[in-house]
Amino acid sequence: MSGENNLTRAQAWEESENVGRNASGNPTLGDVIAARFNRRDLLKGLLGVSAIAATVSPVALTASPNARAQSAPSFAFKEVTAGVDENHYVAEGYDADVLIRWGDPVLPGAPAFEPMNQTAKAQLGQLGYNNDYLGYFPMPGTANPSAHGLLAVNLEYTNEELMFPGIGRQDIKSANFDKMTKELADIEKAAHGGAVLEVKRENGKWRVVHGSKYARRIHADTPMEITGPAAGHDRMKTKADPPGRSVLGMLNNCAGGITPWGTWLSCEENFHGYFWGTLEDSHPEARNYKRFGVPDNWQVWGKWDERFDIVKEPNEANRFGWVVEIDPFDPNSVPKKRTALGRFKHEGAAGITNKDGRYVVYSGDDERFEYVYKFVTEARVDTQNPSANRDILDRGILYVAKYNADGSGEWMPLVHGSGPLNAVNGFDSQADILIECRRAGDLLGATKMDRPEDVEANPLTQKIYVMLTNNTRRKADQVDPANPRADNAFGHIIEMNTADGDHASTRFTWEILVRCGDPSIEKVGATFSSATTKDGWFGMPDNCAVDHMGRLWIATDGNSRSATGRADGVWAMETEGNLRGTGKLFYRCPEGAELCGPEFTPDDETLFVAIQHPGESPDPKDRGIFEKPATRWPDFKADMPPRPSIVAITKRGGGKIGV
Ligand code: FEO
Ligand code: CA
Ligand code: CA
């Protein structure tokens, strides 16, 4: 069961899903740091700001920032006031326009949204629930690539208590899915997956092009291909798919990435919650499933669709937790689960073309005490012929990160036969390693992080930013320089530097850019710059975006009245010069919502954001349900529930965002 009555779904999932299943004996660097500092210093927390900052990453501290990024303008906008209420807010002089909402038609012929008359058939043609990652693809041949393109949208998960009348939370123990019907479960399955929208900006305003030949809805039963080293492996075979090479649907697709060859990478995150049943401890997959928390019984789908019942179909859960590559320009293309990039709770898959032409994809595994990964292709990206890159993600090396106490770091290859990754430890092939990335990382001694979410490289500076959202389960004796706070309620951001700008290198240096939380409360230990206002600090960094001037923008998940006295939103974050570490609030979500998918058009004149689960509340008995949501944004009509929506932010009168 997912949690208790007095938690929001997101909080309950965190309590349940992110229980910190990493039982490996990897040093949390408590061991490592003990070699440098005694335990009493650690407990005093004094290593906090000054000592670690001064001892970590001398290389990074002396490196001169890239000249182009240094010349990027500081953020110029009037800061939004932090707080929480029913509405959303953007900096003065900007418009934040709703582009499309849950239930609005995507496919030609789809019906208008009727909250009291929902059907799976209607939902399959409409925008599904909880829009997350957004990827913008300029339309080839268009006069203005920043005014006409495709928007790829992840549809992560469903909130039955906000979607459907009269049922409340069904995943909690007391409800036990009593009010869930097959009909409702089918609507939920239809509301998952993704969408492709053709979007156009005319007279300054964005709209979805209806009847577009590119329009697409991907859902929990969309046929997909499994490619790469795990395709066809025995552990990928099911009754419905004896060859182990095709699967229906993608689930819990959180963040993602876009490739230079024009495809959308969509990442399966909390796949474990969709499975139910009980697997015997003696089952060959028991150790694997335990490490990922499968099954977690968040959904009742297994009652009617036996592939989600691990007793009836014990291999199905091995077919989720992958990065899915999709060609957004061909609505008939078969999405491909690229197993070479590993199976874990992928937050995102932001990539960068390395200086030698290989493609490098960074990805965090979003759970407490999990790892940061990167994948380096074997082949170089063919910039002249995009279709030559079609299967480039099937071959390459996956690495897991180790953050050393001295500010250096190592990328350790997850390659069959290297070190302990062999048959003695239950890895008979590369497929075994990819299916059980976490256990492979355990054996290599990867660093247990505070819930790694987005990991994104800045192409102008080659620096890499890692969002670590929080980890309240880290104990004082588990802190390490890369995860320096016990009971880390507000998260932090790590900045990594490649060796010589080489993203394929196995070496890096790192330092903490900022520890999040309220800097006015000493015991929080936040390290925003002193230029940060009372509105400029935030907690729980989750997604991020780098604009085309090389500036970092942070999206958050988990700020609330009780946690930080503020709603989630988008904060600008200075990374260079003497303002480094300054946050500045640009956009604020309506109550209960999380900010996802920040995405700039190539000209930086539009920032698309995805507003997920508006109206959630920590007290679902009274608020945060269909009948009584915490907000009715964006429609504010008594007969309309709140709706997850995509918002286009532009400057009134034109111009780049934040300049
Ligand atoms: Fe789907 Fe880690 O947020
Ligand atoms: Ca996220
Ligand atoms: Ca999150």
Residue 307 domain flag: yes
> Is 347 a pocket residue for ligand 1 (Cβ < 6 Å)?
yes
602: CB partners within 8 A, 6+ apart: 138, 145, 146, 548
Tell me how far the alpha carbon of residue 253 lies from the centroid of ligand 1, in angstroms.
8
Read off the pLDDT of residues 113-141 as tens digits, 9 standing for 90 and up: 999 999 999 999 999 999 999 999 999 99
Read off the pLDDT of residues 181-194 as tens digits, 9 standing for 90 and up: 999 999 999 999 99
Whether the predicted pLDDT of 5 surpasses 80? no
Q: Choose among 242, 448, 191, 225: nearest CA to 334.
A: 225
> Is 296 a pocket residue for ligand 1 (Cβ < 6 Å)?
no
Residue 44 binned pLDDT confidence (cut-offs 50, 70, 90): very low
Tell me how far the alpha carbon of residue 543 lies from the centroid of ligand 2, in angstroms.
6
Quote the DSSP letter at residue 120: H
Residue 70 binned pLDDT confidence (cut-offs 50, 70, 90): low
pLDDT of residue 20: 57
Ligand 1 atom nearest 252 alpha carbon: 1
Q: Choose among 4, 7, 20: nearest CA to 366.
A: 20
Backbone phi and psi for residue 646, each to the nearest 5 degrees, phi listed first: -100, 135
> Is 156 a pocket residue for ligand 1 (Cβ < 6 Å)?
yes
Ligand 1 atom 1 nearest Cα = 254
> 545 is in which domain, residue-wise?
9-651
Average pLDDT across the chain, whole number:
91
From the CA of 345, the nearest ligand is 1
| Beta-sheet pairing, 583-588 with 205-208 | unpaired
CATH number at residue 59: 2.120.10.30
Residue 230 domain flag: yes
Ligand 1 atom nearest 366 alpha carbon: 2
State the average pLDDT over residues 352-375. Answer: 98
Whether the predicted pLDDT of 57 surpasses 90? no
Read off the pLDDT of residues 533-580 as tens digits, 9 standing for 90 and up: 999 999 999 999 999 999 999 999 999 999 999 999 999 999 999 999
Ligand 1 atom nearest 255 alpha carbon: 1
Quote the DSSP letter at residue 631: -
Residue 604 domain flag: yes
pLDDT of residue 15: 64
CB atoms near residue 560 (< 10 Å): 22
Whether the predicted pLDDT of 66 surpasses 50? no
Read off the pLDDT of residues 458-476 as tens digits, 9 standing for 90 and up: 999 999 999 999 999 999 9
Encoding tokens for residue 503? 């993203």
Residue 44 domain flag: yes
> Is 366 a pocket residue for ligand 1 (Cβ < 6 Å)?
yes
pLDDT of residue 133: 98
Tell me how far the alpha carbon of residue 386 lies from the centroid of ligand 3, in angstroms.
32
Residue 7 binned pLDDT confidence (cut-offs 50, 70, 90): low
Which residue would you say has higher pLDDT here, 158 or 2?
158
Q: How many separate domains does the chain show?
A: 1
Residue 657 domain flag: no
| Beta-sheet pairing, 223-227 with 336-338 | parallel
Read off the pLDDT of residues 605-623 as tens digits, 9 standing for 90 and up: 999 999 999 999 876 677 8
Residue 220 domain flag: yes
Tell me how far the alpha carbon of residue 10 lies from the centroid of ligand 3, in angstroms.
8
Residue 172 domain flag: yes
Whether the predicted pLDDT of 658 surpasses 70? yes
Dist CA 315 CA 236 (whole Å): 6
Residue 333 domain flag: yes
pLDDT of residue 588: 98
Ligand 1 atom nearest 270 alpha carbon: 1
Tell me how far the alpha carbon of residue 616 lies from the centroid of ligand 1, in angstroms.
16
From the CA of 544, the nearest ligand is 2
> Is 576 a pocket residue for ligand 1 (Cβ < 6 Å)?
no
> Is 79 a pocket residue for ligand 1 (Cβ < 6 Å)?
no
